[in-house]
Amino acid sequence: MSQLIDFRVDPNNYRHWHVEYDGPVATLSMDVDEKGGLFDGYELKLNSYDLGVDIELNDVVQRMRFEHPEVKVVVMRSAKDNVFCAGANIRMLGGAAHSHKVNFCKFTNETRNAFEAAEEDSGQNYIAAVKGACAGGGYELALACNHIMLTNDSTSAVGLPEVPLLAVLPGTGGLTRITDKRKVRRDRADIFCSIEEGVKGQRAKDWGLVDELIPNSTFAETVQERAREIAASSKKADVASGILLDPLERVIDGETVRWSLLDVEIDRAGRKAVFTLKGPEEDAPADMQAFQSQGDQAYLLKLCREFEDAILHMRLNEMEIGLWVIRTQGDPALIAAHDSLIAENANHWLANEVRHYWKRTLKRLDVTSRSLVAFVEHGSCFVGVLAEILFSVDRSYMMDGEFEDDERSLATITLSKANFGAYPMGNGLTRLQTRFLGEPELVETAQSHMDTALDAEAADKIGLVTVILDDIDWEDEVRIFVEERSSFSPDAMTGMEANLRFAGPETMETRIFGRLTAWQNWIFIRPNAVGENGALQRYGTGVRGDFDLTRV
């Protein structure tokens, strides 16, 4: 699986999803093209999915928010008879590299989280209309919806059969959502996750696995009725029209990947990549009407789209590049004005969507299994939302004082309203609250310096950077750090970084990305699952896996 994976999607070319819009209700139909797998060697039968199917779904969810803000309810259904979704394609998983399997699970988790949070963030409520078999990742699709409706017939059931069938775990939050979100009793959950055939009818309703059980004869009508009821009771403000998201332009030129506002320079020998985010060249729009008139070319929206694409591109296509260096260059005053426009118009639908888009993108950075470092150099513009990057990374280095032959403006950091609640992490805390978990008073200290350009000494004094270095030490210290980081075991780095980034309270989201991903990562390399005689390899042969029975 060495081909380039492209996360840029043109909705005119969807192969697996159809969307119909009817005022406040949208119907999202899953109709997976069996021949449309991202790679060769498998067919996507029974609405099973691979990464390509989920890339389209991620695009649908994104466009629903920006292009169709009038939508208040999304009905997710199957366009195929007798099956809602069979989950992740087993042949794909059986043939995929370990790294692809783990990144696939991470991306599907991020997509589920995005539409699960759509009600709170955007006033868009997702309903799962389950008719037919709904197993594994298919039920995880339904679990991430706000409301699950199941038809009451002999063929419709929900299930998480990964343990008995494949010797792996549900990879997209299924275990956590049935206990934490749906509050299914632990002993019932144990039964549910240990049987192949799933649970149907009244038992599914009684156990809390679904919200409604509907007779087959009235299922379609009742789903639409429920959607209209939920839309009518929605507190989401009516929005006349959205903005179009045109395809992103990206150029890969040798070891450089370029977008309009972002460059990534890859150093393969050093196993590192340098991300340079560029500040705006134009003044901020006068108001949100002017911002909306710019459409997807508005600076903060465009930069967020490109940054997200860069994160996903580098995650899946450059897995040996273990260190990401993130830097910015631009006018801090200009970025401050753009940042302020979004913060001061929180009630405007588009400002709200841009803010939540940045929240989701920064969360992608938080859970990326790469070493992350920020260089606050002269000429940088770590202001507001871009300053959040400094508190996402594992370390930050800042230039202190003038550097010989460097005529750029001195390095500064400027905190804004955005850094104190607009972009919470998966643990429910801001990045500054997480950073200063043992010294909460420093959050208040940082807030007292809001809207002030802080030089290296000032930033260091209140704990906003890891190390400040002058002209004499900068080059050597940075070089030593990069060389040292690249010499460590990538496995140990991934484990260490993931543990250190999420201090503080545990939430359903941190459990999904922390516990589940860690266990799934381990199980995916165990011979009981992926060995020659493992359950994943023998699936479909009629022969069960040959297990090493030692408990580890």
Question: Which amino acid makes up residue 219?
Answer: F
Range of the domain at 474: 251-496
| pLDDT, position 336 | 98
Q: Let me know: does 376 contact 465? Beta carbons within 8 Å.
A: yes
- For residue 50, CA distances in Å to 81, 87, 219, 264 come to 20, 9, 29, 27
Angle ∠(510,134,223) on CA atoms, nearest 5: 95
Both tokens of 404, joined, read 């010989």
Whole-prediction pTM: 0.96
Query: Smallest Cα–Cα separation from 385: which of 286, 461, 300, 454?
Result: 300
Question: Does residue 268 share a domain with residue 220?
Answer: no
pLDDT surpasses 80 at 432: yes
Q: Let me know: does 188 contact 146? Beta carbons within 8 Å.
A: no
3-state DSSP call for residue 231? helix
Question: Does residue 445 share a domain with residue 320?
Answer: yes
Beta strands 212-215 and 157-159, pairing class = unpaired
Backbone dihedral region for residue 76 (phi beyond 0: left; psi -120 to 50: alpha; all else: beta)? beta
3-state DSSP call for residue 135? strand
Q: Please write the tens of the pLDDT for every residue from 138-180.
A: 999 999 999 999 999 999 999 999 999 999 999 899 999 999 9
| DSSP code of residue 516 | I
Strands (DSSP E) contained in 43-145 are 73-78, 83-85, 125-130, 133-135
Q: Please write the tens of the pLDDT for every residue from 433-449.
A: 999 999 999 999 999 99
Question: Does residue 299 share a domain with residue 166?
Answer: no
Question: Does residue 313 share a domain with residue 340?
Answer: yes
Question: Does residue 270 share a domain with residue 225?
Answer: no
Which of 476, 496, 516 represents a domain boundary (last residue)? 496
Any idea what the CATH number is for the domain that residue 370 is in? 3.90.226.10
Question: Does residue 288 share a domain with residue 229?
Answer: no
Which of 496, 524, 539 represents a domain boundary (last residue)? 496
Q: Let me know: does 267 contact 274? Beta carbons within 8 Å.
A: yes
DSSP 382-436: EEGGGGGGGGTSSEEEEE-S--TT--SPPP-EE--GGGGTTS--TTSS-HHHHHT
Q: Please write the tens of the pLDDT for every residue from 41-90.
A: 999 999 999 999 999 999 999 999 999 999 999 999 999 999 999 999 99
Number of domains in the chain: 2
Both tokens of 463, joined, read 């704990």
| pLDDT, position 518 | 80
List of residues 6+ apart from 438 with CB closer than 8 A: none
| pLDDT, position 514 | 85
CB-based burial, 490-511: b 16+ in 10 Å, e otherwise: eeebbeebbeebbeeeebbbbb
Q: How far is residue 423's CA from residue 8's CA, in Å, rounded to a whole number? A: 24
Question: Does residue 295 share a domain with residue 221?
Answer: no
Q: Please write the tens of the pLDDT for every residue from 507-540.
A: 999 999 888 778 888 899 999 999 999 998 898 8
Q: Let me know: does 115 contact 126? Beta carbons within 8 Å.
A: yes
Residue 61 CA to chain centroid, in angstroms? 12
Question: Does residue 227 share a domain with residue 305?
Answer: no
